[in-house]
């Protein structure tokens, strides 16, 4: 069974940085692209970034390009998202998501989601 | 950028049919995926590539895609179907792949 467990969320001040992690199990992690999707309180889903199986292909939403950095460590079966220059509107639940494809370029869709980690940006 | 438009809410009586639309320019040229999100839970894949049901999803759920509208249909609605539903597509902007979700539709079962 696929399991995705996010961690690293919490309270952060505006302008600071935070790194989210996702531990994957139950599938061959290095065979699939992975993504981060967030959901602000009471709002809809927003895709942030995707990374191919071998980290060669990386895509970002316009809203976070240049501020957020996605990465993965296949040996540790882990996905990461570094959030820099945090803003109040970055407050959201951040989900780690498994693709069905190897590339993060639209060949697939989102088959499994973690339970999410909450990031709150506040003074 | 590509915009997906969903009705904010749909209300249906138990046993009836709920129809959730997702509008987008020439959406029939894209593969549409649907996710269900119950309160306090993570989204779950329901339908992929327009009309294929995900594993474990009852056949009461079906999808279609034509023209400028994709549709998720829930037949014989049950109380447990009450949730938010999101459509999802990939598109290309300046040759870069981007993905977008609809705004979500809250299905309320009377």
pLDDT of B9 reads 97
Inter-chain CB proximity A50 and B99 less than 8 Å:
yes
**In contact, B7 and B105? CB cutoff 8 Å:** yes
Q: Using pLDDT thresholds of 50, 70 and 90, give the confidence band for residue B98.
A: confident
Residue B97 has pLDDT above 90, yes or no: no
Residue B95 has pLDDT above 90, yes or no: no
pLDDT of B75 reads 97
Alpha-carbon span A74 to A79, nearest angstrom: 8
Residue B8 buriedness (CB in 10 A; 0-12 / 13-18 / 19+): exposed
Inter-chain CB proximity B45 and A50 less than 8 Å:
no
State the average pLDDT over residues B19-30: 96
Q: Closest CB to A109: pick one of B33, B100, B103.
A: B33
State what percent of residues in chain B have pLDDT above 70.
98
Please tell me which residue of chain B has the smallest CA distance to A6: B42
Alpha-carbon span A57 to A105, nearest angstrom: 8
**pLDDT-flagged residues of chain A (< 50):** none
Tell me how many residue pairs between chain A and chain B have CB atoms under 8 A apart: 57
Q: Name the least confident of A37-41, A110-114, B10-14, B94-98.
A: B94-98
Q: Which of A1, A6, A3 is nearest to A48 (CA)?
A: A6
State the average pLDDT over residues B61-69: 98
Q: Using pLDDT thresholds of 50, 70 and 90, give the confidence band for residue B17.
A: very high
Q: Which of B88, B79, B80 is nearest to B20 (CA)?
A: B88
pLDDT of A103 reads 85
Alpha-carbon span A58 to A96, nearest angstrom: 15
State the average pLDDT over residues B64-90: 97
Residue B92 has pLDDT above 80, yes or no: no
Alpha-carbon span B28 to A81, nearest angstrom: 33
Alpha-carbon span A15 to A33, nearest angstrom: 29
Q: Closest CB to A95: pick one of B42, B45, B103.
A: B42
Average pLDDT, chain B: 95
- List residues of A whose CB lies inside 8 A of any B CB: 44-47, 50, 59, 61-62, 95, 100, 104-106, 109-116
pLDDT of B91 reads 82
Q: How far is A44 from chain B (nearest CA, A)?
A: 6
């Amino acid at each position: 069974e696929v399991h995705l467990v996010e961690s690293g969320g919490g309270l952060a001040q505006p302008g600071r940085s935070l790194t989210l992690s996702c531990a994957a199990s139950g599938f061959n992690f290095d065979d699939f692209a992975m993504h981060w999707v967030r959901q602000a309180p009471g709002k809809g889903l927003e895709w942030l970034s995707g990374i191919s199986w071998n980290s060669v292909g990386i895509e970002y939403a316009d809203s976070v390009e240049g501020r957020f950095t996605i990465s993965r460590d296949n040996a540790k079966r882990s996905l990461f998202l570094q959030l820099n220059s945090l803003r109040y509107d970055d407050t959201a639940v951040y989900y780690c998501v498994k693709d069905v494809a190897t590339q993060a370029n639209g060949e697939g869709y989102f088959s499994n989601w973690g339970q999410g980690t909450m990031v709150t940006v506040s003074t | 950028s590509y915009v997906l438009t969903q009705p904010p809410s749909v209300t249906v009586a138990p046993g009836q049919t709920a129809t959730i639309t997702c509008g987008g320019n020439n959406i029939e040229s894209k593969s549409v995926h649907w996710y269900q999100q119950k309160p306090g839970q993570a989204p779950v894949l329901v339908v992929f590539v327009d009309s294929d049901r995900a594993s474990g999803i009852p056949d009461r759920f079906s999808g279609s895609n034509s023209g400028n509208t994709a549709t998720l249909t829930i037949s014989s609605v049950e109380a447990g179907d009450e949730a938010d539903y999101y459509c999802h597509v990939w598109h290309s902007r300046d040759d870069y792949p981007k993905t977008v979700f609809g705004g979500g539709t809250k299905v309320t079962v009377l």
